[in-house]
């Protein structure tokens, strides 16, 4: 499973609720003809991501929308990694993977993230407006913000969802860099967050152009 180094430990929690499955996992891949074929796995990752983003958006079921937000809680990041972690950053499954890693990280390290966000927004005011975190940006506020971003996967404009996540990651990266005290690991993790923000913005542009798949 992939993370952002010094950004905190991400753990898989809970088990899926069998009543209303909204995404397949390993059993899907095992049942596919030629499942060992990388091309087959890649297509399954793209189709699953497309179903989640395009299909759920057409549903008026608020329970399904709520479960989209907590998908990583229900299935665990390991399960999502099986689907999406090897997908290119400028693809739909790659963008979803980054959104869910971002949410899991924020929930596991909310105190640290809120500190970094509070510092970073002083130097990135425009991005702070796009991210939309409530005042003051404490642990509860940053958790609420990242959940609101994930709700956009199911209910809002997906390009805007990606832009908000990118702005948030960029602010936290800025704050982390200013608080790093020349610590190599933290500076490196800040640069990785900037890279993630760039990838999310690239995906947002592709979505607006109708090219994100």
Query: Whole-angstrom Cα distance, residue 49 to residue 211?
Result: 14
Three-state SS for 100?
Answer: helix
How much is the pLDDT for 110?
94
pLDDT at 196 over 80: yes
Sign, CA dihedral 88-89-95-96, equals positive
Comparing 21 with 126, the larger pLDDT belongs to 126
Residues 128-156 have pLDDT tens digits of 778 777 777 889 999 998 888 888 787 77
| pTM summary value | 0.75
Three-state SS for 192?
Answer: helix
Cis peptide bond upstream of 166, omega within 30:
no
Tell me the average pLDDT across 54-82: 71
How much is the pLDDT for 186?
82
pLDDT bracket for residue 68 (50, 70, 90): confident
Q: Of the candidates 153, 165, 159, 142, which has an alpha carbon nearest to the alpha carbon of residue 65? A: 153
Tell me the average pLDDT across 198-211: 96
Residues 97-108 have pLDDT tens digits of 999 899 999 999
How much is the pLDDT for 23?
40
Q: Of the candidates 39, 71, 29, 77, which has an alpha carbon nearest to the alpha carbon of residue 52? A: 71
- Are the C-beta atoms of residues 21 and 28 closer than 8 Å to each other? no
Say how many residues make up the chain. 213
Query: Whole-angstrom Cα distance, residue 95 to residue 211?
Result: 13
pLDDT at 16 over 60: no
Three-state SS for 7?
Answer: helix
pLDDT at 18 over 50: no
How much is the pLDDT for 35?
47
Tell me the average pLDDT across 3-19: 38
User: Domain residue spans in the chain?
Assistant: 22-208
Residues 23-64 have pLDDT tens digits of 434 443 444 444 456 676 688 788 878 877 876 656 566 777
Q: Of the candidates 172, 66, 158, which has an alpha carbon nearest to the alpha carbon of residue 113? A: 172
Cis peptide bond upstream of 136, omega within 30:
yes
Query: Whole-angstrom Cα distance, residue 134 to residue 111?
Result: 15
Sign, CA dihedral 41-38-194-102, equals positive
């Amino acid at each position: 499973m992939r993370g952002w180094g010094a950004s905190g430990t991400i753990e898989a929690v809970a088990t899926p609720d069998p009543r209303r499955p909204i995404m397949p996992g390993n059993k899907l891949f095992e049942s596919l003809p030629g499942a060992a074929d990388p091309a087959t796995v890649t297509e399954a990752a793209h189709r699953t991501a497309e179903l989640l983003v395009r299909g759920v958006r057409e549903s008026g079921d608020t329970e399904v929308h709520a479960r989209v937000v907590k998908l990583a809680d229900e299935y665990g990041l390991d399960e999502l990694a099986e689907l999406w972690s090897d997908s290119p950053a400028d693809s739909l499954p790659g963008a979803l993977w980054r959104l869910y890693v971002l949410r899991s990280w924020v929930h596991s390290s909310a105190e640290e993230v809120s500190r970094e966000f509070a510092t970073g927004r002083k130097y990135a005011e425009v991005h702070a407006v796009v991210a939309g975190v409530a005042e003051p940006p404490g642990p509860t506020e940053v958790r609420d913000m990242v959940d609101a971003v994930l709700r956009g996967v199911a209910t809002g404009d997906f390009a805007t969802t990606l832009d908000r996540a990118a702005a948030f990651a960029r602010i936290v990266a800025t704050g982390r860099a200013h608080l790093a005290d020349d610590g190599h690991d933290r500076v490196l993790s800040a640069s990785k967050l900037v890279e993630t923000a760039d990838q999310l913005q690239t995906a947002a542009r592709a979505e607006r152009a109708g090219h994100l798949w």
